Amino acid sequence: MRTTPLAILLWILPMFMVAQTKFEAGIFVGGSNYQGDLVPGEGPVLKETKPTVGIVTRLRLSNYFALRSNILYGEISGSDLNFDDASYVIRRNANFTNKYANLSLLAEWEPFAFWKQDSLGKRKILSPYLFTGAGVSIINPVLDPGPNNDFTSVILPDLEAEFSKAVFNVPFGGGVNFVLSKSVSLRLELGMRYTNSDYLDGISLAGNPEAKDWMWFGGTNLSFTFVPKDSDGDGVPDKDDRCPWIAGGILAKGCPDMDNDGVEDGEDLCPEVPGPILLNGCPDSDGDGIPDLADNCPDEYGFEETGGCPDDDNDCVPNAEDQCPDIAGLIAFGGCIDTDLDSIPDPLDNCPTEMGLADNAGCPLTDIDCDGVLDHEDQCPTLASETGFSGCPDMDEDGIVDVKDKCPENPGSEQNDGCPELSTAALQKLERISQNVKFRTGSSSLLTKSKTQLDEVVELLREYTDYSLSISGYTDNRGRASTNLRLSRERAKACYDYILEKGVDPDRLKYNGFGESKPIGDNNTSAGREQNRRVEFDMALSWMQED
């Protein structure tokens, strides 16, 4: 069964809505410390811990997630006296205090919130949680250089430095939640704040400007929860609960709902499988508005008329049963049409537009051209044939009917589409002529003996009337390419003009010149260059040349 977006939503929503959204408020009491230039090592110095107090509000979205805001006021401090190395005192001898205010927005995740809940939905044992978010702190570091400090040598640049008093920070950490009662929780937590400032302690240039200052904080958070009355403890307040004395689901407005689909079990036709309210709680995997229970094709979008199965041509015959799924037809004909109304559906009717007989494959018993081949078997029903080739004539009697014969007046072969093939002698003659047609040097004037060769080409064209001639001129690579290209074209045209004078149809002739582009010999030798100076003659079927 396919999982639809609705089904996914119905499974996810209950996790976030197990409990009614609650608002909490409380106080924070603890301490702050810092890590920076005036404390040694990678952690805080415990004796520098200063008090921190504030107000905490929390919007609980579910038993697992909550949004929280902190408004805190505290102090941090540090001193070079914290270093074991006396050189810090001798060289810098500084200390600071910084009273700050912090505003943060955090997200809390309590992954084990489902452990041991009582009838009121409150946890009886401790539950760990994690938090992170973003915030801003307003700082006011007071840097004391100490007695006998040389301002000009060490910290004077930091005393004179200008820096932002508003510091962006990213708090993160964790804690443990103790549920004391239905409405009171005590949390112990510890965390850190990454800041984008190196001036929490007023020292940067005289310390390590590349490292930002960090802030540590920890303490207790006593919170009070404001929840409406919920007699059955199902997370739905009594004022909204249709079953206030029986624990139920939020989507079902407080009534029992085993599959959490918003339809209470007493009205749910599919109480163990989530489904939409409009379908009485039953799933609709293909989203066609027909519940799977009544859908013959639950995984394919369909229509009520076809029992929930697809029907692409809307003829009330499901695709799986429709012999003509792309054309709307009749149920009696398996979804196909009967164009000629002879009670034979078109797929089985050899004459779908003429009323005929079932014994004659749906065709009438007619022979329009009176050639002895009934029309439904006659490939040429309006052309009489005496040869018996499926009712079609074959004028040249080469076994290829005229409708398929490219040369219907001249017998040919099936491989050549009914046209005569050039004989081996004809091909050899064309090759010999191509080698023996010559011109005056650097000219397009034909030599007298070349005209004799061209006369043989004319004879071949008269013998093979279905063929056309292509004349191609070529040169060697001596001289400029543009000159050679023009000369090759002029020589090809000279041959074209001579053959044209012999009365050959110009539609059967074409010529072109290709210069030195297609050598057949080595242009570095005299013999090779002579081979390259040539005119080639190629004969092909006229219909092929047109293509």
Buried b (16+ CB within 10 A) or exposed e, 176-197: ebebeeeeebebebebbbebeb
User: Given this model, what pLDDT does residue 13 score?
Assistant: 42
The verdict on residue 59 lying in a domain is: yes
Shortest CA distance to 185 belongs to which of 17, 24, 59, 18? 24
User: Given this model, what pLDDT does residue 132 score?
Assistant: 96
Q: What is the CA radius of gyration of the chain?
A: 49
pLDDT digits 0-9 by tens, 288-314? 888 877 878 888 887 878 878 887 778
The verdict on residue 496 lying in a domain is: yes
CB contact at 8 A, 299 and 286: yes
The verdict on residue 167 lying in a domain is: yes
Domain residue limits at 534: 424-546
Give the CATH number for residue 202.
Answer: 2.40.160.20
Q: Is 119 helix (H, G, I), strand (E, B) or coil?
A: coil
User: Given this model, what pLDDT does residue 27 score?
Assistant: 96
CB contact at 8 A, 401 and 415: no
User: Given this model, what pLDDT does residue 499 score?
Assistant: 92
The verdict on residue 344 lying in a domain is: no
The verdict on residue 460 lying in a domain is: yes
176, 204, 226 — which closes off a domain? 226
Place of tokens 């539609």: 507
> Would the pTM of this model clear 0.75, i.e. be above it?
no
For 284-329, the DSSP string reads -TT-SSS-GGG-SSTTS---GGGTT---TT-SSS-TTT-SSTTS--
User: Given this model, what pLDDT does residue 419 score?
Assistant: 81
User: Given this model, what pLDDT does residue 217 score?
Assistant: 93
Give the CATH number for residue 513.
Answer: 3.30.1330.60
Report how far residue 284's alpha carbon sits from residue 291's, in angstroms, rounded to the nearest whole number. 5
| Number of domains the chain contains | 2
User: Given this model, what pLDDT does residue 391 score?
Assistant: 61
User: Given this model, what pLDDT does residue 547 score?
Assistant: 43
User: Given this model, what pLDDT does residue 377 score?
Assistant: 66
Name 391's Cβ contacts closer than 8 Å, sequence gap at least 6.
Answer: 369, 371, 373, 377, 378, 379, 380, 381, 383, 385
| Amino acid identity, position 406 | K
Q: What are phi and psi of 428, to 5 degrees?
A: -65, -35
The verdict on residue 35 lying in a domain is: yes
Positions of the chain with pLDDT lower than 50, given as ranges: 1-20, 116-123, 151-152, 547
User: Given this model, what pLDDT does residue 305 score?
Assistant: 80
Shortest CA distance to 157 belongs to which of 91, 211, 207, 98? 207
User: Given this model, what pLDDT does residue 158 score?
Assistant: 83
The verdict on residue 512 lying in a domain is: yes
User: Given this model, what pLDDT does residue 102 score?
Assistant: 95
- Regarding beta strands 214-226 and 141-144, do their DSSP bridges make them parallel or antiparallel, or are they unpaired? unpaired
195, 226, 257 — which closes off a domain? 226
Report how far residue 103's alpha carbon sits from residue 56's, in angstroms, rounded to the nearest whole number. 10
The verdict on residue 79 lying in a domain is: yes
226, 261, 293 — which closes off a domain? 226
User: Given this model, what pLDDT does residue 80 score?
Assistant: 82
Number of other residues whose CB lies within 10 A of the CB of residue 205: 17
